[in-house]
Chain A
Amino acid sequence: MADIRFSKDHEWVRRDGDLAVIGITDYAQSQLGDVVYVELPEIGRKVEQGGDAAVVESVKAASEVYAPVSGEVVAVNELLSGEPGRVNADAMGEGWFFKLKLSDPNQLAALMDEAAYKKFIEGLS
């Protein structure tokens, strides 16, 4: 869990070599409530840091998921199309959204580490 980084938009990124696994944080899922639909990017799509990458819908509303880092989508979590509730059950694990081939690994360093993110969300409530 050491190499997980967090964005201010409540996405997490776990680096895995030149790939990055991305999802929404446990805080984000708790704020959204029951997730009923996840729209994932197409494989091969290039996403820019801060740009739209996916959509997560709760019973009440749809929310954009932004790419916390730039890269090319190389995998998506197909499990979520049939069982979107996995995002609530295990946001930081089985509820991952997509994997990127990083175009600029240095972007990771500028994101928050776990302690900084924890402080960030404490400041929100």
Chain B
Amino acid sequence: MVDPSAESLQRTPLYALHRDLGAKLVPFAGYEMPVQYPAGILAEHLHTRSKAGLFDVSHMGQLRLRGAGAAAALETLCPGDIQALGRLRQRYTLFTNERGGILDDLMVTNAGDHLFVVVNAGCKANDIAHLRRHLEPGVTVEMLAEHALLALQGPQAVSVIARLAPALTTMKFMSAAAVMLDGAPCFVTRSGYTGEDGFEISVPAERAERLAKRLLAEPEVAPIGLGARDSLRLEAGLCLYGHDIDETTTVIEADLAWAYHKRRRVEGGFPGAAILQRQLAAGAPRKRVGILPDGRAPAREHTPIIAGGRQIGEITSGGFGPTIGGPVAMGYVAVKSAAPGNAVSLVVRGTERPACIVKLPFHTPRYYRGT
């Protein structure tokens, strides 16, 4: 069980706190990260759905893009309308390759004098190289290595944050604010990866533990590990890079056309634009869908999906959904079999088991979009 790479793993500014909280630490994307705390994944998942969970996501890459025309420059690498992003507004987008495949998915915020970008931990080195290769010298790419990233998620996240910064209660989903939290200068977005209302908080590394402890001291808040983060995002129908989306899945196949904005569809001007335009018009050969297995046996990643005696695709994320109380999955199927309600079979341990194509998400998000 000894991981030979353990010595080279990086630690987040909250490493000591995770140890103190009794976390089970595992290697993830080059970091030693908490997969769960003593409460366990099920309890942590349900806690986040009913109260508020605090996640350490400091392993993710936080970047600042500076320079006149940074938004236009970023658009040469992604299908999103970044220039239309108002001040302190945030958007989900994707870095594409020449085949319309996905190099990474990311969040972009117009922070006024720069773009604040959050990318996946496992992709951040490649992303930075990609950005520098294509955007410099007109745009500078700065990595915020000295910042932690905390996510406070759940229906009671807003009442918790209100005790630290009342002004944040009225900010809407996918917007941002620079505020002081417990004396620390933070950049907060109302977003997350759980399907719940919540906040992601970029905080200077040296203030991160203090802020985390301050939040954990609130009665609604419990620490939540990466295990529950994964089951929460799966129920919310959100993609995990390297599993549900990668360089071989196009933006259209991944059913992410909502992030391919109108002006960009007309103008193109990013890698793979021609392919995505064609797939939008004529359809893609396969599509990412929700899959609900009958019975209680979870169907894991790479489980073959069968219809009419033939394999039509495979599961890309699958497991147990604690809120659903049973197995949930997503994967790719041939587009003619992708309609919700279609019956399919899943081959689990050599046995075909019935399942149904369903509309995503499994758990309807409860984002705050204003009153």
Q: How far is the CA of A36 from the CA of B230 in the complex (A)?
A: 15
Q: Would B36 and A33 count as touching, CB distance under 8 A? A: yes
Q: Which residues of B contact A36 (CB under 8 A)?
A: 42, 296, 298, 320
Q: Kindly list 20 other residue pairs between chains A and B, CB separation below 8 angstroms, not including A33-B41, A34-B40, A59-B320.
A: A33-B36, A33-B40, A34-B41, A36-B298, A36-B320, A37-B297, A37-B298, A39-B297, A55-B349, A57-B297, A57-B298, A57-B320, A59-B42, A59-B227, A60-B35, A60-B41, A60-B230, A60-B319, A62-B298, A62-B300
Q: How far is the CA of A81 from the CA of B41 in the complex (A)?
A: 20
Q: Which residues of B contact A62 (CB under 8 A)?
A: 298, 300
Across the two chains, which residue of chain B brings its CB closest to A52?
A: B349
B345 interfacial contact with A, CB 8 Å: no
Across the two chains, which residue of chain A brings its CB closest to B36?
A: A33
B223-281 interface with A by 8 A CB criterion: 227-228, 230-231
A1-39 interface with B by 8 A CB criterion: 33-34, 36-37, 39
A115 interfacial contact with B, CB 8 Å: no
Q: How far is the CA of A57 from the CA of B41 in the complex (A)?
A: 13
Q: Which residues of B contact A109 (CB under 8 A)?
A: none
Q: How far is the CA of A34 from the CA of B44 in the complex (A)?
A: 11
Q: How far is the CB of B338 from chain A (nearest CB, A)?
A: 26
B322 interfacial contact with A, CB 8 Å: yes
Q: How far is the CA of A124 from the CA of B320 in the complex (A)?
A: 28
Q: Would A61 and B300 count as touching, CB distance under 8 A? A: yes
Q: How far is the CA of A61 from the CA of B41 in the complex (A)?
A: 12
Among B45, B228, B320, the one with the most A-chain Cβ atoms within 10 Å of its Cβ is: B320
Q: Would A59 and B300 count as touching, CB distance under 8 A? A: no
Contact size range, B: 20 to 34
Q: How far is the CA of A62 from the CA of B41 in the complex (A)?
A: 15
Q: Would B349 and A59 count as touching, CB distance under 8 A? A: no
B1-59 interface with A by 8 A CB criterion: 1, 35-36, 40-43, 45
Q: How far is the CB of B301 from chain A (nearest CB, A)?
A: 10
Q: How far is the CA of A59 from the CA of B231 in the complex (A)?
A: 8
Across the two chains, which residue of chain A brings its CB closest to B299?
A: A62
20 contacts between A and B (CB under 8 A): A33-B36, A33-B40, A33-B41, A33-B227, A34-B41, A36-B296, A36-B320, A37-B297, A37-B327, A39-B297, A39-B349, A57-B320, A59-B41, A59-B228, A59-B319, A59-B320, A60-B35, A60-B41, A60-B319, A61-B300
Contacting residue for B1 out of A33, A34, A124, CB 8 A: A124
Q: Would A81 and B1 count as touching, CB distance under 8 A? A: no
Across the two chains, which residue of chain B brings its CB closest to A88?
A: B40
Q: How far is the CB of A63 from chain B (nearest CB, A)?
A: 12
Given contacts A34-B42, A60-B227, contact A81 B296 (CB under 8 A): yes
Q: Which residues of B contact A61 (CB under 8 A)?
A: 300
Q: How far is the CB of A115 from chain B (nearest CB, A)?
A: 22
Q: How far is the CB of B110 from chain A (nearest CB, A)?
A: 37
Q: Which residues of B contact A81 (CB under 8 A)?
A: 296
Q: How far is the CB of A125 from chain B (nearest CB, A)?
A: 8
Q: How far is the CA of A2 from the CA of B2 in the complex (A)?
A: 33
Q: Which residues of A contact B43 (CB under 8 A)?
A: 34
Q: Which residues of A contact B42 (CB under 8 A)?
A: 34, 36, 59
Q: How far is the CB of B249 from chain A (nearest CB, A)?
A: 23
Q: Mark A70-98, 1 if CB is under 8 A from B, else 0.
A: 00000000000100100000000000000
Q: How far is the CB of A66 from chain B (nearest CB, A)?
A: 14
B159-192 interface with A by 8 A CB criterion: none
B286-306 interface with A by 8 A CB criterion: 296-298, 300
